[in-house]
Each structure stands twice: as C-alpha cells, then as structure tokens.
Amino acid sequence: MSTAATPITNAGVERPPKEVLAVPAATDVAARSPAQATTNRDKALDYLRALVTGLVVAVHSLAAYALVIPASHPRHSWLAGAPIADSHRMPGVDLFLHFNDNYFMSLMFFLSGLFVWPSLARKGSAIFLRDRVLRLGVPFLFAALLMPLAYYASYRAHVIDPSFEAFWREWLSLGFWPSGPLWFVALLLAYDALVAAIYRIAPHLLARLNRLASAASQSPAMFFANLMIVSATAYLPLRVAFGADSWVKFGPFFFK
C-alpha cells in the first residue's frame, strides 16, 4: 500500500522506534527528513487505524438494529445515542456493540497518543500545539456549527411540530450545544494541549515516563499488571463517584 493510498495513510504518523514506546533522542527525531519519515511508516499501525475507524462506523450504524436501544435523553428523545431505531431488530447486534464498546475508543486514544512524543521532540510544544489546533480544533469548530442540521433530521422523526423554528427554539433551550461524535476530537485536542504544556514546563518528565514504558519489552507481564493496577486506581473512584455514563457538558464540549 502506497503512502498516498488512503486518508488513513496520509495522517502524517511515523513508524515508532524499534520499541514502540521507546524514547528517541530529540536531535535524532529532528534530523529525520520527510523522505525518511515516509519510509519509516509502519503499515501494521496504518491497518490498525483503518480497522478501528471502520469499527466506529459499524457500531454507530448498527445501533439502530440493536435489541436494547441506548437510553434516550430524559426530555429530548431526538438526542438519544440511536435516535432512529429500525422496527426490525437483529439478534447478535447487541453483543457486537457491547464487545467493541469496551475497547475501541480507548484504542483510538492510544493510537493517537503513540506518536505524540516523536512529534513533540521534532517540533517543540508550540509548533506541535499549533498543528493540532489546525488539524483538530478548526475541523471541530466547523463541524460543531453544522451539527444542528444533523440533529434536525432526528428531531423531525420524534416531534409533533417538525418545523425548523420549533427545533431551533428547543435547541437553544438545551443549555449546551450538542456536538455528537465530535466529543472525541475535542477531548483528543485537550489531551494534546495538556501533554504540550507538560513538555514545555517539565520536558524531562515525559522522557522518564517513556523510558519507564519502554521497559515493557523486558517484562511485558509485569508491565501489564502494573498498568492495570494504576488504571484501576485512577478509574474506580471516579466510577463510584460519577457512574459509568456521566457526562460533563459545556457548550459543544462533552467529557465522559
């Protein structure tokens, strides 16, 4: 597959070093030419990115055929996760949805974060953040402005008065600006900004964390066990305090 074959392969990622999470020297990363970056692409990661993107599309497409439809908004049914449900349901769809929902969004964050360190080392925090704002922030704002048009189709299928004027009044009464699946893009940009700030303030901290992660190749079982312990320690108290489906909303930004 050539590097210009698909949008996935044009995403601008480079092949990680021999150890995926190993830390390259900043001078080595900066010295790479565009030609070297192209030849260092890892096709396996390109295929994985394409696969997980396809899974996201499949999950959202099949939600309309699930036996158990995602819960509706308490006051606005047209804001439900699957606002349009087909009258013919498909057994087995729920298993597919719930299985993939356990990992695929985390995998998307992981694949994006995998290349943050080489990019920061090559560009520096300011240029890195500028590029992420152009790649993520600008499309997010543009799509968020168009989001009412996407929700209007769902609104017409759920209400007595399907006029756009009635829809717009209800939209403005929500107190937030639904952005649909764009929540992922906004959260990804927020993580990028956080990492860029840490790199700016304490650049050696990220290097130490990456060296620690690189030790996974020496003892993968121990690394995995420690990772699960740290993850559970961070997640479970929040799970108990806020629940599994609690969202923080302000404007077009949604955080789960």
73-120 per-position pLDDT tens digit: 667 777 776 667 777 778 888 888 888 888 888 888 888 888 888 888
Rounded mean pLDDT of the chain? 78
Q: Give CB contacts under 8 A, 24+ apart, made by 31-35.
A: 32/122
Residue 59 · residue 97 · CB < 8 Å: yes
* % residues pLDDT > 70 (the chain): 80
Which contacts (CB < 8 Å, 24+ apart) does range 12-20 have? 13/41, 13/45, 13/46, 13/49, 13/114, 13/115, 14/40, 14/41, 14/115, 14/118, 15/40, 15/41, 15/42, 15/45, 16/42, 16/45, 16/114, 16/115, 16/118, 19/214, 19/216, 19/217, 20/114
How far are the Cα atoms of 85, 147, 149, 178 from residue 171, in angstroms, in the given order? 22, 11, 11, 9
- Per-residue confidence band for 40, with pLDDT thresholds at 50, 70 and 90: low
Q: Of 158-172, 190-204, 240-254, which gets the smallest average pLDDT?
A: 240-254
pLDDT at residue 161 in the model: 86
pLDDT over 80 (residue 239): yes
Whether the pLDDT of residue 10 is over 50: the answer is no
Q: Residue 149 pLDDT more than 50? A: yes
Predicted TM-score of the model (pTM): 0.72
Structure tokens at 242: 């806020």
Residue 146: what pLDDT? 93
Among 204, 192, 191, 186, residue whose Cα is nearest residue 251 = 186
Instruction: Please state at what angle helix 43-62 crosses helix 104-113, rounded to 10 degrees.
Output: 150
Q: Please tell me the predicted confidence (pLDDT) of residue 82.
A: 64
Question: pLDDT category, 144, cuts 50, 70, 90?
Answer: very high
Beta-bridge partners for 158: none
Cα separations (Å) of 167 from 75, 148, 160? 14, 9, 11
Residue 174 sits at φ, ψ, to 5 deg, of -65, -35
Task: Provide the 10 A C-beta neighbour count for residue 232.
Answer: 11
